[in-house]
Structure formats: C-alpha cells, structure tokens
Amino acid sequence: MSFNELMFRNVEGSSADPVRTWHPEVIASILAYGGADDYAPVMNEIFADPWGPVARTVEDIVRHLDLDDEDESVDSGTAALFAAGLRYAREDAETEEQSAVADELAQLVRRSGLRQTEFAARLGTSAGRLSNYLRAKISPRASLMVRARRVAADAESSTGAPGRQPSFRKPGLRKE
C-alpha cells in the first residue's frame, strides 16, 4: 500500500480528488508523515485560496503545534514551512487585492471626467491621500469605494459622457 493510499484509508476520497475536498485528517497526515511531493498540492491549494478550508486546516494544525510543544507528530520545520507559506500566500493575495482596488478607483476617476483634485474633494479626502490609493500604497475603506462609484456615476451623468466636461454659458450667448 502506497503512502497516498495510506493517507486516505480511513476517509472517503482519494489523492485524485481536488485538495479542497480532502479530509482534514489527510492534510494532518501529510504534514506529519509526507515529503516535498506530498506538500506541493497542499501548498498549491493554499496559494490558490489563502483563507480557504485547506489553509484554515493547516493554520489550525500549525497553531495547535505552537500551543502543544509535546506533540511531535509534525516536525517543527514542516510547521514553520507551512506557516511561512500561509503568511506569504496571504500577503501576496492582499497585494493583488490592493492593486485591484487601486485599478478600480483609477477607472472611476477616469470615468468621472474630473481632475484628481476635484474627485478627491468630492470624496471628502485630500488629493495626496487619493494619490496614495491610486498607487496602492494604502487601501480605502469600503465606504469610500461606494462613495467613489457614486461620484463617478454622478459626474458621468451630469456631463453626458465619460471624460467630457459640461460647458457653462450664460443663456443667450452663442458659442463661436
């Protein structure tokens, strides 16, 4: 019987199933008795979904080891490897999410047709802070994103088209 078969002997499923469907007991067995080839699918799933069920299971196992120094079922090096993998996967996901928020905000500023300083004023923030949001240095609160969507939509509807500024003329004057 292979190691893969042994890991799944007391649970339903097989190593051919998606990792996210594996029983926590299988994941614990991999951390305790597996090797690099066994770690790879678990680590790949952690990177695919850093807060998903597999990541949470690994996090619980690693946390349990930190609390119970007498439990030697998982090597401390393996625990450190997976703890670092979790940390890195989550940091990477947060960076990508922060960039996505910055991209959406930049699109809203463009769609509004307003200058950044005017857009910032309508949001109730400074131009410098808006610049930090747009460069993904910091992330805005969810309420500011809701406000940004509203500001962009209002500006777009008042100008008639994205990027077009309204013309203000006194009645009776002709445009030449």
Q: What is the pLDDT of residues 4-62, one digit of tens each?
A: 666 777 788 888 889 999 989 899 888 888 888 889 999 999 999 999 999 999 999 98
pLDDT band at 176 (very low <50, low <70, confident <90, very high): very low
- In angstroms, the CA 130 to CA 128 distance is 5
Closest CA to 73 of 32, 29, 34: 32
Tens of pLDDT along 134-170?
999 999 999 999 999 999 999 988 865 454 444 445 5
Query: Where do the domains of the chain lie?
Result: 3-74, 97-159
pTM across the whole model: 0.72
8 Å CB contact between 104 and 132: no
Tell me which CATH code domain 97-159 carries.
Answer: 1.10.260
- Which letter, b or e, does each residue of 101-130 get, where b requires 16 or more Cβ atoms within 10 Å of its Cβ? bbeebbebbebbbbeeeebbebbebeeeeb
